[in-house]
């Protein structure tokens, strides 16, 4: 996010044609170690920004699956500098496990002069200090399917095999039109480019609203990867995308179905407890000076509504299937 666009500095957002690059580092951490990276408790560090929707997918998955002890977490400052994500939230501005000031150091340890920028989420091999993967599309699927030996007892199946084709098809449309569509609208440099992206965003939101009118979750009757990917965009919609990215046909709170669905997930352990609206707002409004030159961070919106009753339980569904909710977040 903001860091996966080809060669775009912070001040250039909205002034240079938007192009989200594909993840350059696509090695996978698997149970059979077929890419040379075995699933191993304590070996890898997950680097995220709580501002970033792509990284937030991994935060939610890690919580739901109970991987906190097996996969340690580094949280970057939501305000990037010209070297991108930095560890200025930690003492001495250095990640205490990796010993680096900037995530780019792990990228450079893997490959110098790498293309595509420095992105989160990133999985770093702790012993070598080298980046393993920044493939945000694949990472959470592997956490769900390859890391099963390290899942907590009662962890949900977030990518159930019988539903994968339906999940994949739905996620592709959500990615193109919504997850990435809000960026295409927000960083557009031409009116027709913006209007096309705007139309995609709201067409997809309307389709999701119809789909969710009589079902609690997007695919099947439990939470899946599809819900995680929709949620991380929806939770940012009114705070950022409606105003900052000009996706202003209506707010999330003005769609009764999507607003209730988003609240339902927010109030589900593993979702809302990973969200940091302060990080979200400060990142978008202070980093994207190309479209917000004054770097003024809005005071709103009122966040109290996220904890109001949603009544989605009336539609049935079992959030964790035959499993259980995760315990309280680690201190």
Question: Would you please indicate which residues are annotated as catalytic (active-site) residues?
Answer: 52, 183
Region of residue 232 (phi > 0: left; psi between -120 and 50: alpha; otherwise: beta): alpha
DSSP 237: I
CB 139 within 8 A of CB 53: no
How far is residue 1's CA from residue 125's CA, in Å, rounded to a whole number?
A: 22
Dihedral sign (CA 295, 192, 54, 319): positive
> In Å, what is the CA distance from 297 to each residue of 163, 203, 288?
41, 28, 11
> In Å, what is the CA distance from 146 to each residue of 65, 120, 121, 139, 158?
12, 20, 17, 10, 12
> In Å, what is the CA distance from 106 to each residue of 30, 40, 53, 57, 98?
20, 19, 21, 21, 9
How far is residue 146's CA from residue 132's CA, in Å, rounded to a whole number?
A: 15
Q: 204: helix, coil or strand?
A: helix
How far is residue 44's CA from residue 147's CA, in Å, rounded to a whole number?
A: 12
């Amino acid at each position: 996010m903001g860091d996966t666009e080809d060669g775009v500095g912070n001040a250039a957002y909205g002034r240079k044609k938007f192009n989200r690059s594909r993840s350059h580092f696509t090695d996978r951490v698997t149970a059979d170690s077929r890419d040379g990276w075995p699933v191993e408790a304590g070996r890898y560090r997950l680097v995220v920004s709580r501002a970033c929707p792509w990284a937030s997918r991994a935060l939610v998955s890690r919580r739901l699956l109970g991987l906190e002890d097996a996969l340690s977490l580094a949280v970057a400052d939501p305000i990037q500098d010209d070297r991108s994500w930095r560890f200025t939230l930690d003492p001495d501005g250095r990640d205490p496990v990796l010993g680096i000031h900037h995530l780019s150091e792990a990228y450079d340890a893997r490959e110098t002069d790498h293309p595509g920028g420095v992105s989160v989420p990133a999985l770093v091999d702790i012993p070598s200090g080298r980046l393993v993967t920044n493939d945000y599309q694949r990472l959470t699927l592997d956490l769900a399917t390859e890391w099963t030996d390290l899942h907590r007892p009662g962890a949900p199946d977030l990518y159930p095999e019988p539903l994968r084709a339906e999940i994949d098809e739905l996620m592709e449309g959500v990615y193109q039109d919504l997850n990435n569509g809000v960026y295409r609208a927000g960083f557009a440099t031409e009116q027709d480019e913006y209007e096309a992206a705007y139309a995609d965003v709201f067409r997809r939101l309307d389709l999701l609203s119809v789909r969710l009118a009589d079902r609690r979750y997007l695919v099947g009757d439990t939470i899946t990867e599809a819900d995680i990917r929709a949620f991380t965009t929806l939770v940012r919609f009114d705070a950022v995308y409606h105003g900052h990215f000009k996706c202003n046909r209506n707010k999330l709170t003005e769609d009764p179905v999507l607003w209730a669905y988003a609240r339902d997930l927010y109030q589900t352990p593993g979702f809302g407890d990973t969200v940091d609206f302060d990080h979200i707002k400060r990142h978008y409004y202070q980093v994207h000076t190309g479209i917000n030159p004054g770097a003024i961070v809005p005071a709103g919106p009122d966040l109290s509504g996220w904890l109001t009753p949603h009544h989605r339980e009336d539609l049935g569904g079992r959030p964790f299937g035959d499993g259980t909710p995760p315990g309280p977040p680690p201190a």
